[in-house]
A = this chain, B = another copy of it.
Amino acid sequence: MTRVEQVMQAIRQRIAARLLPSGAKLPSIRSFAEIMATSKSTVVDAYDRLAAEGLIQSRRGSGFFVAGHLAPLTLAEIGPKLDHAIDPLWVSRTSLDANDGMLKPGCGWLPASWMPEDGIRRALRALARSNSSTLTDYASPLGLQPLRQLLSRRLGEHGIEVSTNQIMLTDSGTQAIDLLCRFLIEPGDTVIVDDPCYFNFHALLKAHRANVVSVPYTPNGPDIELFAQALKSHCPRLYISNSALQNPTGAALSPLTAHRILKLAELHNLSIVEDDIFADFEHEPAPRLAAFDGLNQVVHIGSFSKSISASLRCGFIAARQDWINGLIDLRIATSFGGNRMGAELVLFMLKEGGYRKHMDGLRTQLARSMGDTITRLKALDIVPWNEPRGGMLLWCRLPDGIDAAEIAKYGLEKGVVFAPGNVFSQSQTANSYMRFNVAQCGNSRIFDVLSEAIAVQATSANA
């Protein structure tokens, strides 16, 4: 790269990172020459070439400015270009768009037939009889009071002491994390995630222009030595994780790891978002960071998309009081009112809709499917990385030399949506892993396609 190109690249990077926003004045020729330790004529050349490209504009007598109107930046354009098969954005879109004919062992939710359909129908009929304000008015800023009361009691059962006013309803778990990112981080801030972690964390953090650093996840939680090292090296502001039934592994924090994370968080002033959307799928309760921490640096979130319905949208944030106050304003500014009907339906389900009984049945059904799926996968030499503590997700290692992204591509051609490991891996080190949803693995065609895909790769490797 020539000196001129180096200067051009330095400016391009500053513009891309919005350190030089649209309309901003560029450093003077002289000062940028000093910063880059080069000659003024090199900077003049570089600026002229960037102006010819339209990225910056010269204004006579007053210097160079970042051109005012860049095309809107799509998420796909931020960060490295990924192959479709391992691009979190594309995998989400494909799963959500998949028509009924597709098989979806890679998606993160239950089949419709496993959901508490009858309870929802009853809840809708009950809602149809409620008063006109419930049917037509905006929600209050924090959301339906009786539901927040009930959530406060339920969190108490997990050892999380939280008053009703420290709970804000949201329209989903994702919206909860999005609001918290808006509140807790700024563009360029560093955020720690697990490797592997839920793939939409990557997309969400991209939307916030966060600098994402991942820490390898072990069956007891994040690798605590590497976690400590990441805190020292990167000064992160936030850690996002699942304490129980981690996505994609179904593992949980051990009490020891939980304790160490909190000590480190305190030392480094790190905020933590504990995403607990699979809470009610656990057989035995795992430690919750929010319980140990008393909602000081930890924020606890949840939703009912996995257990009641993904069609009605209701989640929540439990956090310290001063943060909730700041979050209310952000919430109103960016979505005005919450989904009041969704909250009413969830309240009905929890109180009268047979939710506990439904979840009891679901856990049994999932345990059975987990066993069946493990057996069928082992027959293909696909081995679980750990024994999940419950839930629907299973993180597996493929036979040696088999490429998960290639399997995903093959699957799509045959109408099967798989979830290849690197979708979950910031470091792109999980290409011999895949996530399976045992509730979506009932159809044996999935294993036929998987077997074919492996055979095709094995054959071409031997060819």
Contact = CB atoms under 8 A, between A and B. Distances in A.
A23 interface: yes
Contacts of A18: 186-188
A332 B171 contact: no
Contacts of A116: 136
Interface in A85-126: 89, 92-93, 96-97, 100, 109, 112-113, 115-117, 120-122, 124-125
Nearest to A171: B171
Contacts of A338: 313
A134 interface: yes
Nearest to A339: B313
B337 A207 contact: no
A175 to B, nearest CB: 5
A196 B305 CA distance: 40
A113 B132 CA distance: 7
Given A332-B92, A335-B175, A135 B121 contact: yes
A347 interface: no
B21 A188 contact: yes
Contacts of A336: 92, 96, 172-174, 200, 305
Contacts of A23: 188-190, 235
Contact of A339 (B69, B308, B326, B342): B342
Nearest to A27: B35
Interface in A69-88: 69, 72-76
Interface stretch (A43-51, A138-146, A381-389): A138-146
A323 B96 CA distance: 19
A259 interface: no
A207 B182 contact: yes
A422 interface: no
A337 B190 contact: no
A418 B112 CA distance: 47
Interface residues of A, number: 97
Nearest to A313: B339
Contacts of A341: 309, 311-313, 341-342, 345
Given A69-B237, A311-B139, A330 B75 contact: yes
A335 B112 contact: no
A110 to B, nearest CB: 8
Contacts of A124: 124-125, 127-128, 135
A75 B22 contact: no
B135 A112 contact: yes
Contacts of A235: 22-23, 68-69
B97 A140 contact: yes
Given A171-B335, A207-B182, A138 B311 contact: yes
Contacts of A458: none
Nearest to A188: B21
A171 B329 contact: no
Interface in A189-236: 189-190, 200, 203-204, 206-207, 235
A263 interface: no
Contacts of A463: none
A87 to B, nearest CB: 10
A395 B225 CA distance: 62
Contact of A96 (B136, B184, B332): B332
19 contacts: A21-B186, A22-B235, A31-B31, A34-B34, A72-B326, A74-B325, A75-B333, A112-B131, A112-B132, A112-B137, A113-B132, A117-B136, A121-B129, A134-B311, A137-B311, A312-B339, A313-B338, A339-B342, A341-B345
6 closest cross-chain pairs (CB), A and B: A21-B188, A115-B136, A74-B326, A203-B333, A68-B235, A124-B128
